[in-house]
Structure 1
Amino acid sequence: MQGYLQSDSLKFYGRNGLTKGWQNTLTNYKKCYPTEAESGTLRFKINDISPIENNSYWVMGEFFLERTVGNANGVFILIFKKINGKWKIVADMTA
């Protein structure tokens, strides 16, 4: 969660619909991945990085979650924005 903007303006769109806010996103993450067996080991494949506007980029890719309770794979689009000199995820769409 350190890579995400810690703000109510953060948006996460996934299988449970739209979640707004860093704390709500963290709460959902803890519900979906309550133990190490569910969280497993996560790998990413980046397929594209493109500028949107000054200090903002989208990143498109695939994720591969290896875990003892069954693997999960999918795709994502992240929007990164440089805020106060640090790159933060301001929006995440994962499927």
Structure 2
Amino acid sequence: MKRLLLSCLFIFTLCTVYAQDKQAILKLLADQQQAWNNADVDGFMQGYWKSDSLMFVGKTGPVYGWQTTLDNYKKRYPGKAAMGQLAFKVIKLQLLDPENAFMLGGWHLTRASGDIGGYFTLWFRKIDGGWKIVCDHTSSNS
């Protein structure tokens, strides 16, 4: 009976941690969306791992580094009009283990100059107790 109780407690704890991690990742994404919609690229970048090893893959191939990614966002989206209003759609969020998660989703920008969107795959890693995007592969229909 004691084993059964301990097993149940262990499973309950895992489920609770799993749910908390999923909520933390979804909050990170919601915070990014809010920052973007406030034309705050620096705030948007807080969801990314601040490291030279951050990988971003777009239509021109992989680039590395948090600062490079920030610079590219600022170059491509120089102001509120170019940034528009961002909406994310999470298609799948899967925790791979206690330190890694995968997300497949879509993104859409509503802008006066024309809407654009596409899909993304994100690799999240728990770093110093918090979740960060360590690899972003984003496609665009533009």
Listed as ranges, the gaps of 5+ residues in structure 1 are none
Identical pairs, percent: 46
Shift, 1:71, TM fit: 0.6
Q: Which moved more, 1:51-60 or 1:41-50?
A: 51-60
Determine which structure has the larger helix proportion and give its number: 2
TM-score by length of 1: 0.95
Q: Calculate the TM-score normalised by the size of structure 2.
A: 0.65
Greater relative contact order (Cα < 8 A, sep 6+): 1
Q: Determine the C-alpha separation between the residues in 1 that align with 2:113 and 2:72.
A: 19
State the Cα deviation string for residues 44-63 of structure 1 (Å, max 9, x = none).
Answer: 01000113333100100100
1:64 correspondence with 2:108: yes
Name the Cα RMSD after superposition.
Answer: 0.9
Residue 94 of structure 1, CA deviation: 0.3
**1:10 lines up with 2:58 in the alignment:** no
Q: Give the SS at the match of 2:104.
A: strand
Q: How many residues align?
A: 95
Q: Deviations over 1:24-81 (max 9, x none)?
A: 0011101100111111110001000113333100100100111111111100000001
Structure showing greater radius of gyration is 2
